Amino acid sequence: MLAVLLFNAVDFSVVDNTGDLAGGRRFRKEIGDVNYTTKSLRAATAFTWRLFQQANKPSDRRFTPKISMVMENGDRVAYSSQEEIHFNAGYLLGVLGDVRREFTGVVYHKVVHSWQWNGAGQAPSGLVEEIADYVRMKEGYAASHWVGPGQGDRPWPEYYELDPVLQIKETHIIGTHLMRPSNQQLNQRSTQSPTQPAKAPNRT
């Protein structure tokens, strides 16, 4: 099944390749099939643009003419390139509680990667991932297993999931007012030499 939607010159498409396996059945029954997923891709894009302060500034955006999502039977939660997201429907079988909320949160995280700069691949992976997690949290889709504010004990940027963006928000490493500068700095760093890695922001 294929759903295609045009949104501000961006093509969104969702393909369900899960067949009749249990993960695919739960996806279609409890999440809403490709129609809900397409709407989520569009909503996540619009929200990311707003947080990055790019809603009315197309020239500031990373060029991403399309975002495709493939629902499949894999062995990871999800993975993505700039224009394509792969989601393992089998992951949904282990989700307790609101499976649609968890699914949507992962979609938001992956969509952010489609729009954020990464310093030509030289930015710290922790910074890139935490920005995506912050966007997810800001829209109200924080994962249930994330710890609360101030509960983590690993320093920036070494942690990835133990103490994600809830602590970042509390310590003001990346607040909403810093989202656009942080993303734009990663764009500017794309002109750096590949041997010169981008630095993570200092803790305050």
Q: Which domain holds residue 43?
A: 1-115
Q: Identify whether the C-beta of residue 159 lies closer than 8 Å to the C-beta of residue 92.
A: no
Q: Are residues 104 and 177 in the same domain?
A: no
User: Which residues are within 8 A (CB) of 203 and not within 5 positions of it... i.e. 6 or more apart?
Assistant: 155, 156, 171, 173
pLDDT tens, residue by residue, 132-170: 988 998 899 988 777 655 565 544 333 344 344 444 444
pLDDT reported for residue 199: 37
Evaluate if residue 182 carries a pLDDT over 60. no
Residue finishing a domain among 115, 134, 160: 115
| Helical packing angle, 125-138 and 33-51, nearest 10° | 110
Number of domains in the chain: 2
Same domain, 95 and 152: no
pLDDT digits 0-9 by tens, 23-65: 999 999 999 989 999 999 999 999 999 988 888 888 888 899 9
Q: Per-residue pLDDT for 181 more than 70?
A: no
Does residue 111 sit in the same domain as residue 159? no
More confident residue, 110 or 199: 110
Which pLDDT does position 107 carry in this prediction? 98
Residues contacting 95, CB < 8 A, separation 6+: 102, 103
pLDDT band at 22 (very low <50, low <70, confident <90, very high): very high
51 and 92 part of one domain: yes
State the pLDDT at residue 7.
52
Let me know whether 95 and 133 are in one domain.
no
> Same structural domain for residues 15 and 105?
yes
Reported as a pLDDT band with limits 50, 70 and 90, residue 121 is: confident
pLDDT of residue 1: 52
Pick the last residue of a domain from 57, 85, 115.
115
**Are 99 and 171 found together in one domain?**
no
Q: 133 forms bridges with which residues in the sheet?
A: none
pLDDT grade, residue 187 (50/70/90)?
Answer: low
Average per-residue pLDDT for the chain: 76
Q: In this structure, are residues 116 and 186 in contact, taking their beta carbons and an 8 Å threshold? A: yes
pLDDT tier at 130 (50, 70, 90 boundaries)? confident
Q: What is the model's pTM?
A: 0.75
Q: Does 100 share its domain with 141?
A: no
Q: 110 and 173 in one domain?
A: no
Is 94 found in the same domain as 43?
yes
End-to-end CA distance of the chain: 49
Q: Which amino acid is at 45?
A: T
Q: What is the pLDDT of residues 59-113, one digit of tens each?
A: 888 899 999 999 999 989 999 987 999 999 999 999 999 999 999 999 999 999 9
> Are residue 96 and residue 137 in the same domain, yes or no?
no
Where does 79-144 have alpha helices with state H? 99-115, 125-138
Q: Are residues 200 and 127 in the same domain?
A: yes
What is the spatial distance between Cα 147 and Cα 164, in angstroms, rounded to a whole number? 7
End residue of a domain, out of 95, 115, 135: 115
∠ CA 137-81-108, rounded to 5°: 20
The CATH number that applies at residue 10 is 1.10.390.10
